[in-house]
Amino acid sequence: MTTRRRVWRNRLAVGGLLACVVAACLIYGRPFDQAVWHHPDAVTRGDRLWMVNDLTVRHLRGLTREQVVELLGPSDDPSALHPDFRQYSEWDLVYDLGIVDPLWMIGPGVMEVLAIRFGPDGWVSEFRVGHEWKLRSAGS
């Protein structure tokens, strides 16, 4: 192979890689939409996972507990989601975000939750997106 062809092949490879990175950055996440968050299939379709970044960056800060519950609905029971989520029972509100499957689709998925804590003044003081491995059932 000539040097000229190698240079073009390398440029195409680097360009393709950069295009993939830019596309992933643009696709990663979507604006928070309250109607989509409350949709019955939002967790199983992964909609909540796609919106959690925008939610935490642009919507949660400066809200009271009542405002968060109005926005997101009632909290999920962490121990009902996964036995290892008992650690989140200390948090004030916990929301199921869904399961992220590894790219190779073998083994457990990662179950994600949004945990929110309020300060003594009643405002959001801390939030965390936490995860735990979850074994797939035989049908999934």
Model pLDDT, residue 21: 44
Is the pTM higher than 0.75? The answer reads no
Mean pLDDT across the chain, nearest whole number? 79
The yes-or-no verdict on residue 78 having pLDDT over 50 is: yes
* Cα angle value 67/69/74 (rounded, 5°): 175
Average pLDDT over residues 109-120: 89
Domain positions in the chain are 1-30, 31-134
Of 96, 81, 29, nearest in space to 59 by CA = 29
The yes-or-no verdict on residue 109 having pLDDT over 90 is: no
- The count of C-alpha atoms lying within 13 angstroms of the C-alpha of 33, restricted to the half-sphere facing its C-beta, is 9
Model pLDDT, residue 136: 43
Query: CA-CA distance, 89 to 77, in Å (whole number)?
Result: 8
The one-letter code for the residue type at 34 is Q
The yes-or-no verdict on residue 125 having pLDDT over 90 is: yes
Query: CA-CA distance, 42 to 110, in Å (whole number)?
Result: 16
Query: CA-CA distance, 54 to 58, in Å (whole number)?
Result: 6
For residue range 45-58, what is the model confidence (pLDDT) as tens digits? Answer: 889 999 999 999 99
